[in-house]
Each structure stands twice: as structure tokens, then as C-alpha cells.
Amino acid sequence: MYAIVEIAGQQFKVEEGKKIFVHRLDAEEGDNVEFEKVLLLDNDGTVTVGEPVIENTVVEGKVLAHPRGDKVIIFKKKRRKGYQKRSGHRQDFTQVEILSIGPRGEGKKKAAPRAEKKVTEAPVSEEAKAEAKKAPAKSAKKPEKE
């Protein structure tokens, strides 16, 4: 089983148990991540193509590390002009291990709903209530100009 999934604007072919390098993600090492943009799913010869994505299908992965790529040298030169410029770039990557491919919520237990907290109002004195009733209501209308 494999899937084509979009991660950080790029498409990757992923399989369970494989490790891939993607552009840097905002996740800590050891965190589990879910990729919801599954574009194609091949389940033992049964191919499902999304329009544009397959609904209720998710690819789950685990962040292993945040390495940096090899340095790429950029060299610019204009002949007979004496112009040379050299610079470099190292891309930040995230290494992700694919844990599972399948429907959303597969193999997960739903968390028990939390008990709702009761909100109690602060006690208000009788004087404060009386003052609130006496205060004239301000009108939202602006005074008209003559």
C-alpha cells in the first residue's frame, strides 16, 4: 500500500515504515504528525484518485530529526568583466517516518468527554443592583445638528 501525499507544498510517495525528508515542519522531535492532503491511494492494486483530495484519509507520521542538507554552491561569473560572486545555501529538512496510511481515526480510541465546569456568579450586593437600575440608559443615537 502506498499513497501520494502533499506535504509543505510538495508531493511525496509514501509507504508504511519508510522514512522521508521533507522541508522543515513546525513540530518537535518525537511528535506525531498527520497529513490530510492525500491525493492518491493504492491499496494492493485498487487505486483511488482524489478530486483533488481523498476525504477522511490521513497519513500519520513521526518526526525523527531536523537535519540540514548538503551545502549547495552558487557561483556567478560574467566573462571579461571581472565579476565573480560565490554564495552557498543549506536547506533545513525534517525526517519523518510514516506510521500508517488509512482512514481517519483508525486504531485510535476516542477520548472521554470532559466534565463541564459549572460557572458560578460572584455575589452582587443589593446596593449595586439598585444603582444599576437607577442609571439612565445611554442612547446610541448621535445628537442631530441644526
Buried b (16+ CB within 10 A) or exposed e, 40-77: bbbeeeeeeeeeeebeebbbbbbbeeeeeeeeeeeeee
pLDDT in tens, 77-104: 999 999 999 999 999 999 999 999 998 8
Type of residue numbered 27 = A
Of 90, 108, 31, 113, nearest to 65 by C-alpha is: 31
pLDDT level of residue 105 (50, 70, 90 thresholds): confident
Residue 121 vs residue 26, higher pLDDT: 26
Q: Identify the bridge partners of residue 3 per DSSP, sorted by sequence position.
A: 14, 41
- CA angle, 17 then 19 then 22, to 5°: 140
Q: Given this model, what pLDDT does residue 32 score?
A: 95
Domain residue ranges in the chain = 2-64+94-106
* pTM confidence score: 0.64
Dump pLDDT digits (tens) for 35-77: 999 999 998 899 999 999 999 999 999 999 999 999 999 999 9
Please state, in angstroms and as integers, the Cα–Cα distance from residue 61 to each residue in 29, 36, 79, 131, 136, following that order: 11, 11, 49, 61, 61
Angle, CA 135 vertex, CA 129 and CA 140 arms, to 5°? 125
